[in-house]
Amino acid sequence: MRYSIVQIQAIVEVARCGFHVSKAARRLNTSQSVVSKHLKSFEDIFAAKVFTRSGKRLTGLTQEGEKIMQHAERIISDHNSIEKIGQEAGAFERESLSLVTTPTLARYLLAPTVKKFRQMHRQVQLHIQVEETDKAVESLRHGMCDLAIVPIGKLPTADFTMTPLTQWPRSLIGLPDCPLFDGRDLTLETIATEPIIAFETPTISLQDTFDKYGIATNAALTTSNPDVMKAYAELGLGVAVVATPTFDAQRDAPLVGRDVSDIFPPVRIAALQTRGSYHIALQSKFLEYLKAGLT
């Protein structure tokens, strides 16, 4: 059996795109007819179907397709690693680094490092993809970026090498007339008496801390963005628990804040890289700058 890397790329990308050939074609910078041709030619060589179909529409993977996909993902990962080695060995001007992170970390954590990296490596193209944590991890898993900087939480990390970076403590924020800011001792029970603008993502949930102790909350709303939380808190819709570095008393006035790091666990932030893939030198260099800035 002889197959080409472009056929394997077509199979993997179609599966990643939810079996939408047109979407896979756009991702591969080619036409839908070319992708369909690659799929058909592979199945002709393979002498069996890789995809299940409903009419002309692809709907999933066959049993054989499921087995092939496990190896095809690895082939694409190794192919990307070979390309990186070639790029690194070639002209330095063509080097690039692609990383994915969350909107919050892009703004409040990575900005100084990005500035330093650009100053020291002006000939390198730096691409920053901004996604929520779960989508960021999928981008890394599918080889769409070199490096992910994300909050960990309940995130499964078995497929990645993880470099812990820092932990962000938590602060309670709200308007100054809220009784939680009158100097009394704070507990989970007292915080739960006020409407709460809660941080919620697929991997991190403020509610988990309350659930751990069986405390019912007065949840006003949930969001995954601290800037949205601050805006709604300023409207008097409730209090919010945010990562402390995202709150500045002067910039975010009239909101006020209180440290609640003894009540809520910190936000753990780490760098993820695909286990088993080739890591270009620029990945290590970026992490060196980031760690230096954090210390």
User: Could you give phi then psi for residue 267, rounded to 5 degrees?
Assistant: -90, 115
**Above 50 in pLDDT, residue 247?**
yes
The answer to whether residues 269 and 108 touch, using CB atoms and an 8 Å cutoff, is no
**Do 273 and 148 share a structural domain?**
yes
Give me the helix-helix angle, 5-16 and 32-46, nearest 10°.
Answer: 110
User: Could you give phi then psi for residue 94, rounded to 5 degrees?
Assistant: -90, 0
Mean pLDDT of the 113-118 span: 94
Provide DSSP, 49-97.
-SEEEETTEEEEE-HHHHHHHHHHHHHHHHHHHHHHHHHHHS-GGG-EE
* Helices and strands in the chain: count of H runs, count of E runs: 11, 12
**Do 126 and 74 share a structural domain?**
no
**Do 193 and 254 share a structural domain?**
yes
Question: What is the residue range of 174's domain?
Answer: 170-265
Q: What is the pTM of this model?
A: 0.71
Per-residue model confidence as pLDDT tens digits over 76-113: 776 666 666 666 555 544 478 999 999 999 999 999 99
Q: What's the CATH code of the domain at 37? A: 1.10.10.10
Mean pLDDT of the 179-185 span: 91
Q: Name the amino acid, one letter, at 65.
A: G
Of 88, 104, 131, the last residue of a domain is 88
Q: What's the CATH code of the domain at 133? A: 3.40.190.10
Mean pLDDT of the 276-284 span: 76
Q: Which residues of 155-193 are buried (b: 16+ CB within 10 A; e: fewer)?
A: beeeebebeebbebebbbbbbeebebbeeeebeeeebee
Per-residue model confidence as pLDDT tens digits over 61-85: 888 878 888 777 777 776 666 666 6
**pLDDT recorded at residue 194:** 95
**Do 146 and 275 share a structural domain?**
yes
**Number of domains observed in the structure of the chain:** 3
Alpha-carbon distance of 45 to 25, in angstroms, equals: 21
Q: How many CB atoms lie within 10 A of CB 222?
A: 15
**Do 98 and 236 share a structural domain?**
no
Alpha-carbon distance of 97 to 147, in angstroms, equals: 8
CA-closest candidate to residue 50, choices 10, 17, 77, 78:
10
**Do 32 and 178 share a structural domain?**
no
**Do 232 and 99 share a structural domain?**
no
- pLDDT confidence of 44, banded at 50, 70, 90? confident
Report the DSSP beta bridge partners of residue 52: 60
Alpha-carbon distance of 172 to 209, in angstroms, equals: 14
**Do 108 and 66 share a structural domain?**
no
**Do 240 and 115 share a structural domain?**
no
**Do 272 and 258 share a structural domain?**
no
**Do 240 and 275 share a structural domain?**
no
Q: How many CB atoms lie within 10 A of CB 250?
A: 5
**Do 177 and 107 share a structural domain?**
no
